[in-house]
């Protein structure tokens, strides 16, 4: 197995997406549906400076790159297929964006949406992070702010090591080795003479270094990388990690529980007995005696005698894959990080204070895979992970995001104005913007429940709903979010307010009534009262239009009729009556432009079916519309009876301007993550939120 390639692509289990969250909290289907990590999150094609517009100067830059008179790093936003070149088609796409405006622009995560795979800190302030498609970030203030460092490669970068503030090296896919002598202001390639993935790199000083990779590869340099020479490993396994404590003594770890040791700088490598057959993803030593290696299914082995004896930690503190480990110079304190737990959704963080003999699981509010960890001292450490995740601790226990806003899955989004918006998601994540999404900032929700939906009536007042009957309210733009009492433990998938007092929430089957949950308030949520749905299905969305009387709720498939649930009320929910959906897939979203005209969207994530229903008679008849997608649709937004948008699996964004007679695929950002919610404030300004914390925005209706 080409180990790190498998790891980086999530072969061993990816962090829960929207639909595995449904499985975890609602048990609606008997399967877990996983999506691959996102492709590179691009801005609008040709938008070199990321300001949401394409200028003539940027078009000229693209032409210069195509002609070879400028480098690709002058405008990586033009390279849509990530091949390091600019084609005529890519230039034409950029020209169209210059003339018509950018369809959808990437807004979050920040500073990067790439999977971040490794990091190196030389002290508590200066560090570097590397990731997919050639991503390099640098901080000089302990991670409070980050600068992108540019290279000519778009290869995935797997490992980074700085010997001092100036000299650093990076290894990656396809034999990539990069070197800097000025702290990363400039990066230059070094010749590895191999095309295999180089999964780990380490330097004992600014001359002596080693990199390891697939097919038993170990390379060594004694001149700072000017020349790299192979060393004999006598193993054909993939090596994933390497660590040297000085120019002579080092260890390499890899597949099938392989650990090699050298005392002569790698001239000879000797196998050590690890007492495990699992893949080992990383190895770390504090000195000549004390070391730890971690790997697949939570395996941890440690040694106090340089590897003469490796002891397997049992019972294992986790069954999640562990991808990185670090051990402090005191030989006692360390961390191991890894896969997101399928039950809690939290990325795995383990902490030891006794050299790896025992481990404590530390909580985090990140639901992403965690790939790398580094420390400055036993209290100060950093973690990086998928979707641009950056975590930091200053007390050795509490891990906080260093991203401005979350990288967790976002499941709901709302904009009460063209500038103010909220997005909510996994593990209590809330993001807020006051400038139309140009900048998003995290807000404290006070909960780790999954927040499925958000509703807002003005920039000051909003509500969020989620698992365990959670409803939160803010009346001060999100500075404070306060819990409200709902008297239910059912998951609330949708919340809708029509004014500051009147709202509804809909959700899973209530354990007491046995019916799909509908709650109603007339005092802003100070009290929530149940309404009778008379259906035994979960309800995934609720909406009201034209005041506080006429509304719809949609949901899961009725086991008797085999049809998706649609409920309608004309008296504020005092009575809910079923309507004929005519389809056998769940419906996840509903939105209306008036009391007669509505769309409902859905599909089956298991069979990759998609559905859009349309009514012009208040739901007496729901008519299926043709969908140019094979992905389930999760959210819908409506401006008028002609104009609507729908979003769904694998980055799907659809739009119509003719009442759904034709739906057109929108978006050229290269997003492949599930998009879970959409909100428009008028016909032009819209936002989409999805997995991996991704938020897109448009100022031209997405067209």
pTM metric for this prediction = 0.90
Domain residue extents for the chain: 116-401, 410-698
For the cut 60, the answer to whether the pLDDT of residue 1 exceeds it is no
- What whole-number percentage of the chain has pLDDT above 90? 85
Query: Which residue did the predictor score with more confidence, 3 or 645?
Result: 645
For the cut 80, the answer to whether the pLDDT of residue 6 exceeds it is no
Per-residue confidence (pLDDT) for residue 669, from 0 to 100: 61
Tens-digit pLDDT profile for residues 404-456: 999 999 999 999 999 999 999 999 999 999 999 999 999 999 999 999 999 99
Per-residue confidence (pLDDT) for residue 41, from 0 to 100: 42
| Residue 133 DSSP label | G
Per-residue confidence (pLDDT) for residue 50, from 0 to 100: 67
Tens-digit pLDDT profile for residues 269-311: 999 999 999 999 999 999 999 999 999 999 999 999 999 999 9
C-alpha to C-alpha distances, 699 to 423, 651, 662, 703, nearest whole angstrom: 18, 18, 21, 9
Write phi, then psi, for 278 (nearest 5 degrees): -80, 155
Residue whose tokens read 């088609």: 89
Helix (H, G, I), strand (E, B) or coil at 484: strand
Interval 57-70 mean pLDDT? 93
Per-residue confidence (pLDDT) for residue 668, from 0 to 100: 54
Tens-digit pLDDT profile for residues 511-538: 999 999 999 999 999 999 999 999 999 9
For the cut 80, the answer to whether the pLDDT of residue 82 exceeds it is no
Helix (H, G, I), strand (E, B) or coil at 245: coil
At a CB cut-off of 8 Å and minimum separation 6, what does 108 contact?
A: 405, 406, 423, 431, 437, 440, 693, 694, 695
| Residue 266 DSSP label | T
For the cut 70, the answer to whether the pLDDT of residue 28 exceeds it is no
CATH node for 116-401: 2.130.10.10
Same fold, 116-401 and 410-698: yes
C-alpha to C-alpha distances, 28 to 64, 280, 611, 636, nearest whole angstrom: 53, 36, 18, 21
Q: Which runs of E-coded beta strand occur in 232-288? A: 239-244, 250-254, 259-262, 270-272, 280-285
Per-residue confidence (pLDDT) for residue 100, from 0 to 100: 75
Assign 657 a pLDDT band (cuts: 50, 70, 90): very high
CATH node for 410-698: 2.130.10.10
Neighbouring CB atoms inside 10 A of 31's CB total 10
């Amino acid at each position: 197995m080409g180990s790190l390639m498998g790891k980086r692509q999530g072969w061993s289990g990816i962090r829960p997406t929207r639909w595995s969250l449904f499985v975890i909290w609602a048990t609606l289907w008997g399967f877990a549906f996983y999506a691959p990590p996102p492709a590179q999150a691009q801005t609008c094609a040709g938008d070199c400076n990321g300001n949401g517009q394409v200028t003539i100067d940027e078009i000229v830059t693209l032409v210069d790159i195509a002609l070879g008179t400028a480098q690709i790093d002058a405008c990586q936003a033009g390279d849509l297929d990530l091949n390091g070149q600019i084609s005529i088609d890519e230039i034409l796409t950029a020209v169209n964006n210059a003339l018509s405006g950018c369809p959808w622009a990437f807004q979050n995560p920040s500073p990067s949406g790439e999977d971040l795979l490794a990091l190196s800190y030389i002290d508590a302030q200066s560090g570097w992070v590397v990731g997919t498609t050639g991503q390099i970030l640098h901080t000089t203030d302990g991670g409070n702010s980050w600068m992108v460092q540019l290279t000519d490669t778009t290869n995935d970068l797997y490992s980074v090591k700085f010997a001092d503030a100036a000299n650093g090296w990076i290894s990656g896919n396809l034999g990539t080795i990069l070197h800097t002598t000025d702290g990363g202001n400039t990066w230059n390639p070094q010749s590895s003479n191999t095309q295999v993935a180089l999964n780990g790199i380490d330097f004992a000083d600014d001359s002596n270094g080693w990199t390891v990779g697939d097919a038993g590869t170990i390379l060594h340099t004694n001149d700072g990388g000017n020349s790299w020479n192979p060393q004999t490993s006598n193993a054909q396994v993939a090596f994933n990690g390497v660590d040297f404590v000085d120019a002579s003594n080092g260890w390499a770890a890899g597949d099938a529980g392989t650990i090699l040791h050298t005392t002569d700088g790698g001239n000879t490598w000797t196998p050590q007995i690890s007492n495990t057959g699992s893949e080992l993803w990383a190895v770390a030593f504090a000195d000549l005696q004390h070391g730890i290696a971690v790997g697949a299914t939570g395996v941890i082995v440690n040694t106090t005698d340089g590897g003469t004896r490796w002891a397997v930690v049992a019972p294992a503190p986790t069954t999640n894959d562990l991808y990185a480990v670090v051990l402090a110079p005191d030989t006692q304190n360390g961390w191991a990080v890894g896969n997101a737990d399928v039950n809690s959704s939290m990325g795995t963080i383990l902490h030891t204070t006794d050299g790896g003999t025992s481990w404590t699981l530390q909580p985090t509010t990140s639901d992403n895979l965690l790939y790398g960890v580094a420390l400055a001292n036993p209290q100060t450490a950093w973690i990086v992970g998928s979707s641009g995740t950056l975590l930091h601790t200053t007390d050795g226990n509490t891990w906080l995001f260093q991203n401005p806003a979350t990288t967790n899955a976002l499941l709901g989004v709302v904009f009460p104005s063209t500038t103010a918006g909220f997005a909510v998601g996994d593990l209590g994540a809330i993001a807020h913007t006051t400038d139309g999404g140009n900048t998003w900032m995290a807000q404290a929700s006070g909960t780790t429940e999954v927040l499925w939906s958000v509703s807002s009536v003005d920039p000051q007042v909003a509500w969020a709903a989620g698992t365990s009957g959670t409803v939160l309210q803010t009346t001060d733009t999100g500075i404070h979010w306060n819990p409200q009492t709902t008297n239910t433990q059912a998951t609330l998938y949708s919340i809708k307010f029509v004014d500051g007092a009147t709202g509804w929430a809909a959700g899973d089957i209530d354990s007491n009534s046995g019916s799909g949950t509908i709650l109603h308030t007339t005092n802003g949520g100070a009290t929530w009262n149940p309404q009778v749905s008379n259906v035994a299905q979960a309800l995934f969305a609720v909406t009201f239009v034209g005041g506080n009387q006429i509304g719809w709720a949609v949901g899961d498939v009725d086991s008797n009729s085999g049809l998706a649930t649609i409920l309608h009320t004309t008296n504020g929910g005092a009575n809910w009556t079923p309507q004929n959906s005519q389809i056998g897939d769940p419906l996840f979203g509903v939105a209306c432009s008036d009391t007669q005209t509505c769309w409902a969207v859905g599909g089956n994530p298991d069979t990759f079916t998609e559905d859009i229903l349309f009514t012009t008679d208040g739901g007496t008849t729901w008519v299926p519309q043709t969908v140019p997608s094979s992905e389930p649709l999760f959210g819908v937004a409506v401006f008028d009876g002609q104009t609507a948008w729908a979003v769904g699996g694998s980055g799907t964004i659809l739009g119509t301007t003719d009442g759904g007679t034709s739906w057109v695929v929108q978006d050229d950002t290269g997003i492949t993550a599930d998009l879970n919610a959409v909100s428009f404030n008028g016909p032009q300004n819209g936002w989409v939120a999805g997995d991996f914390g991704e938020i897109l925005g448009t100022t031209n209706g997405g067209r």
